[in-house]
Structure 1
Amino acid sequence: MPLLLTLLRRIGSAIPSVFGVILVTFVLARALPGDPAAYYAGASATPDSIAQIRSQLGLDQPLIVQFFGYLGQLAHGNLGQSTSSGQAVLSDLIERLPASIELTLTALMFALIVAIPLGIWAATRPGSWVDHLCRLLVTLGAAFPTFFTALTFVYIFYFQLDVAPEPLGRLSEIYYTMPPRVTGLLLIDTLLAGDPEAFRAAFAQLILPAISLGLFALAPIARVTRAAMLEALGSDYCRTARAMGLSRGRILFVIALRNAALPILNVLGMVFSFLLGANVLIEKVFAWPGIGAYAVNAVIASDYAAVQGFVLMMALLFIVLNLVVDLFASMADPRVRYDD
């Protein structure tokens, strides 16, 4: 019961933030240069036809009327109609979200596999070459923009070495058959369809964009892991464990790592939500059909409904991620209580 009440309280406290996101996004979307009615009408449209389309889209009404109309649509679960795709925004986002989730999860897994052992190793040898290597990788990972890393990887591994597939989406439908959509995650769906060739091809397409995105996430995870492990290893309970004769592995991976898990979990929630937004440029470089590329196209086309739907979905995902991180934090550290 305390858990349920806390979740309800935090969801209630998030409602003003969501409303603020809706309001700010609505205003900023209409401040974008360009006219969605003109874009929808085409290059050969006349001023009369553009005015007619603007009236059909409701863009000739006062902003306050448009805003309350948009709130009414949201109350019925309707994010509006995309003028660029001609489909419902909610359908577009649901169709493209699994591609972004798959890319983000793979990038995060890569970052975790590299960053956490590297941070632990650096914490056990402060001032050594391993510690300096960790700091160097953290600095380099945070210094280069994701699109620069992605373009560099494409140039080296595709154009020069020819060991990576052509960066054209999740799976080439010329050579492989798309599996039936079950989860939307292509790696899982190809396994469920019993198609190992398509799985290997989809995984090969995923490697470069995931590493390009994961390198940026590696920096904060390794930095926080190193700092948290240094603090834990220098604490009284670790010194007591050493005096009691406990093995080095038990002290490191059971006692110290568990106590260092809370700051690591907190930064994971922040990194994951950041990666969902940061994969916009990665998706454009690799022609990845996710919500990031969809948002870029919506901004170019001044597609108000698509831009607003994308930002609202990201805000809701961020709130859900924070709740999930809080749950895992309470499991990792009993000092975190729900009724605080």
Structure 2
Amino acid sequence: MNTLITILRRVLVAVPTIIGVVIVTFILQRALPGDPAVFYAGPSANPEVVARVREQLGLDQPVFMQFLDFIRRLTHGDLGLSISSGHPVLDDLLSRAPASIELTLAALLFAIVVGLPLGMLAALKPGTLVDHACRVIVTVGAAFPTFFVALILIFVFYYQLGIAPEPLGQLNEIYDTIPTTVTGFLLIDTLLAGDTATFQSVAMKLVLPMISLGLFALAPIARITRAAMLETLSSDYCRTARAMGLSYSRMVFSYALRNAMLPIISILGMVFSFLLGGSVLVEQVFAWPGIGAYAVSAVMASDYAAVQGFVLLMAVLYVLLNLVVDLVITAIDPRVRYEH
């Protein structure tokens, strides 16, 4: 019952946020330079053709009427038609979202696998050379933009060493077999199809984008882990457990780490949302067929419907992610209750 109340409360709080995102996105997109009717009609179209296209797209109507039409279609699950691809925006987003989510989850997993032990190691040996080395590693790793790291990794591992596959999408179109779409996630679909060769190819192509994006999240995870572990290790219950003869390793993993997981999990939701939004540049560098690359193309073409659909999808994902984080924290510590 408490879980259901938490879900309903978070959903109700998120509704005004989503409405605000829709309004702000609609207004800002109209303020951007460029005319989608000119792009759709083509560079050789005369003013009469452009005017007819503008009428077909509904851009000849007052802005308020365009907004009402957008809201009406949105309530029916219609995000409009992309003038860039010629397909419904919802279909484009649903077909591309798994690629972005798969990349983001892989980057987050990389950041956790590397950042969590680094933060713990720094907390267990504070003020030592190990602590300083860990902090230098995470600081340097997060100091460079994701696209710069991506270009460096491509130059070193693909052009110089030749051990990485070509940075062009998720699949090698010549050698890899496209699996039957079940989940939309290529790693999972290739395993379900029993195609280990394609699975290895997809995994290899995922490594460089995963590291490029994951380094962005490594620093906050390591720092939060270090701070949370230092706080719990200095607490009374950890000192008492150690004084009563509990082994050091059990005290660290059973008491300190478990209590430190609350702030760590809280930051993971924020980090995931940052990664999902920050994957735009990485997708461009690696020609990754995700929603980030789709959004960039939509902005360049002044594709109102596609940009609005992208922003709305990101807002919904962010709300759902925060809801999941809240539920996980509540499951870890039942004392946690949300009254707002």
Q: Match of 1:124?
A: 124
- The 5 Å alignment of 1:1-340 reads 1-338=1-338
Report deviation, 1:2. 2.3
The residue identity in structure 2 corresponding to 1:337 is: R
Q: What is the Cα deviation at residue 169 of structure 1?
A: 0.1
- 2-structure distance, mates of 1:18, 1:227: 33
Deviation of residue 173 (structure 1)? 1.4
Question: What amino acid maps onto 1:46 in structure 2?
Answer: N
Distance 1:5 1:122 in 2: 39
Look up the equivalent residue of 2:307 and give its one-letter code.
Answer: V
What's the CA shift string for 1:113-132, capped at 9, x where partnerless?
Answer: 10101111110000111111
Q: Secondary structure in 2 aligned to 1:288?
A: coil
Q: Distance in 2 between matches of 1:10 and 1:194?
A: 40
Q: Secondary structure at the match of 2:29?
A: helix
**Distance between the aligned counterparts of 1:259 and 1:5, measured in 2?**
25
Q: Give how far 1:338 is off.
A: 4.7
Cα deviation, 1:97-124, whole Å, max 9, x if unaligned, reads 0000110111111111101011111100
Q: Which amino acid aligns with 1:336?
A: V
Deviation at 1:267, TM superposition (A): 0.4
Deviation at 1:31, TM superposition (A): 1.2
Report how far residue 177 of structure 1 moved.
1.1
Checking the alignment, whether the CA contact within 8 Å between 1:3 and 1:338 is kept in structure 2 is no
Q: Provide the identity percentage.
A: 65
Q: Does the 8 Å contact 1:89/1:309 carry over to 2?
A: yes
Distance in 2 of aligned mates of 1:339 and 1:52: 53
Q: Which amino acid aligns with 2:76?
A: H
Contact 1:25 / 1:311 at 8 angstroms: preserved in 2?
yes
Distance (Å, rounded) in 2 between the aligned partners of 1:141 and 1:267: 18
Structure 1 length as normaliser, TM-score? 0.98
Note the C-alpha offset of 1:43.
1.3
Partners of 1:65 and 1:181 in 2: CA distance: 39
- Offset of 1:284 from its aligned partner? 0.2
Cα distance in 1 between the residues matched to 2:30 and 2:248: 60
Using structure 2 for the length normalisation, give the TM-score: 0.98
Alignment partner of 2:44: what SS?
A: coil
Q: Write the distance in 2 (CA, Å) between the matches of 1:160 and 1:332.
A: 47
- Say which SS state the counterpart of residue 281 (structure 1) adopts: helix
Q: Which amino acid aligns with 2:199?
A: F
Once the two structures are TM-superposed, the CA of residue 339 in structure 1 deviates from its matched residue by: 5.6
Deviations 1:172-207 (A, max 9, x none): 111111010011111111111111110111111000
* C-alpha contact 1:99 1:288 (8 A) present in aligned 2: yes
User: Number of aligned pairs?
Assistant: 340
Return the alpha-carbon distance in structure 1 between the equivalents of residues 9 and 326 of structure 2: 13
Once the 2 structures are TM-superposed, how far is the Cα of residue 138 of structure 1 from its aligned partner? 2.1
Question: Does the Cα contact within 8 Å between 1:2 and 1:339 map onto a contact in 2?
Answer: no
> C-alpha distance in 2, partners of 1:279/1:210?
10
**What one-letter code is carried by the residue in structure 2 that aligns with 1:259?**
N
CA deviation after TM superposition for structure 1 residue 331, in Å: 1.7
Give the drift of 1:3: 1.9
RMSD: 0.9
Task: Provide the rounded CA distance (Å) in 2 between the counterparts of 1:120 and 1:336.
Answer: 24
| 1:255-312, Cα deviation, whole Å (9 max, x unpaired) | 0001100000000000011111000000000000000000000000000000000000
Q: What is the CA-CA distance between 1:337 and the residue it aligns to? A: 2.1
Residue by residue, what CA displacement relative to the aligned partner does 1:20-64 show, whole Å, maximum 9, x if unpaired?
000000011111111101101111111110111001000011100
